[in-house]
Amino acid sequence: MDPSDDLAWMPAWQVRDLVAAREVSPVAVVQASLRRIETLNPKLNAFVNVCADEALDQARAAEAAVLRGDALGPLHGVPVAIKDEAWVAGVRTRAGSLLFEDFIPDADAVPVRRLREAGAVIVGMTNVPEFMGWSRTANRLIPETVNPWDLRRSPGASSGGSGAALASGMVPIAIGSDGGGSIRIPSAANGVVGLFPTPGRVPDTNSFSYAYIGSLGPMARNVRDVATMIDVMAGPDGVDQRFAGPASDCLGGLDRGVAGLRFAWTPDFGYIATDPRVAERVRAAALGLALAGAAVEEPGLVFDDVWEWFGAQIQGHAAFSGQPPPFLAAPAFKALCRQPENYERLCEYSQRRKVDAAPLTAEAFATTQARTRALKRQFDTLFETYDAILSPTLPVTAPLLPEGLADPYPTFCCGTYFTAVANLAELPAASFPCGFVDGLPVGLQVIGRRGREDTVLQVCRALEQLTAPEDRARRPAWLA
């Protein structure tokens, strides 16, 4: 076995500790990551852009810092993948679109800059649907990303590239983004951990992000790495005006346990047609928290189908709030994306959606606001009794990829049925890999109170400690 295989599956926290102890060189770590990307990316299409030379320069600088005895950040020498949405200075960043094929930003996105300052080494940009707006990780730049657990299946969208890169051992940590489930869905489909932070917790300054209820966020193969990442990435920047409340120490509170906490479990939110095998796998994991001292109840939760107004809420906020997302308001976007003569450069799905669709009326937006406020009140009531809400992340396992433009899920947007409520209610939520159905990963979603990413990850850590070691170490068979 190639010794670099050990590095490929090693958690970020352990890589950093070995680097700090001078037991492994950051250059060797990054070289191992780049070799694995070179070997596997032609099969998976997880990376749309690999920054090999830049990464090796960063790794050599990281090694020099170790040899000088400098103070080292919590991710020193650790390779990280960046979703092709967050800008990376000097690196082509395209949001999956030919319209931005020549765009090279001159500034990092805020979380990218913070990861750099923590010592992480950027190895490349992961694939996305064009403008992160489709249920498939596909665009006209490279072939569609596929799932390492079954190359015929979806890796989730729109952070499917980051999910596939993690599940195949290309990198130990990655940035994703989530405007309706796009961190949690690929985390479930690929068997990794992903956190959707409270909107505003991680600034989206200098990115292609456009949904006020969305967030850039961390993805990894274990909970400790996710907690480390969110602690590094979080905090106001003075530009992103969304307020998430005071941040908690996620890493420091990770092992508090769940004894005395109370959770509500639901297999379907009252209306979702969940695969019974998925529901049972998640139920077993959720009820297992009782072994750690928690109370887990099934109160019969019933939510409305939020997709009736989800898109209108985002569109209306951009139009009527007086705070249009910087990306959508930018002259470059208007010039490139709003001109009919440029439509032929868009992928077919984007052409069909017509990015210049008729705007929402103020009256219609008022209706969506009322429904969103009612949803938030419903969660407020639940959190008077419960510390977190537990559900499946997806109603199915990773679906087969169909031909053409067809949606891979059984019904339109069913992939986001469990996840979008957290976005609309602006609540942190995570997906934790809780087992397998027919050899495919299954995710358990944890939704917490606004601003309480620490509690969400505390629950995920308890789930991780209850997971059988053989399941925690399980990998796609062809990569084992």
Catalytic residue among 83, 187, 215, 391: 83
Which candidate, 301, 231, 248, 299, places its Cα nearest to that of 271?
A: 301
Rounded-to-integer distance, Cα 40 and Cα 35, Å: 9
Residues β-bridged to residue 173: 80, 220
| Cβ–Cβ under 8 Å, residues 402 and 410 | no
Catalytic residue among 159, 177, 182, 248: 182
**Annotated catalytic, 376?**
no
Rounded-to-integer distance, Cα 160 and Cα 182, Å: 8
Rounded-to-integer distance, Cα 145 and Cα 163, Å: 10
H or E, element range at 50: strand 47-50
Rounded-to-integer distance, Cα 216 and Cα 229, Å: 11
**Annotated catalytic, 159?**
no
Give CA separation, 207 vs 8, 64, 79, 400, 448, in Å: 28, 30, 20, 31, 26
Rounded-to-integer distance, Cα 379 and Cα 384, Å: 9
| Cβ–Cβ under 8 Å, residues 272 and 418 | yes
**Annotated catalytic, 207?**
no
Phi-psi region of 126 (alpha: psi -120 to 50; beta: other; left: phi over 0): beta
Catalytic residue among 25, 33, 135, 158: 158
Catalytic residue positions?
83, 158, 182
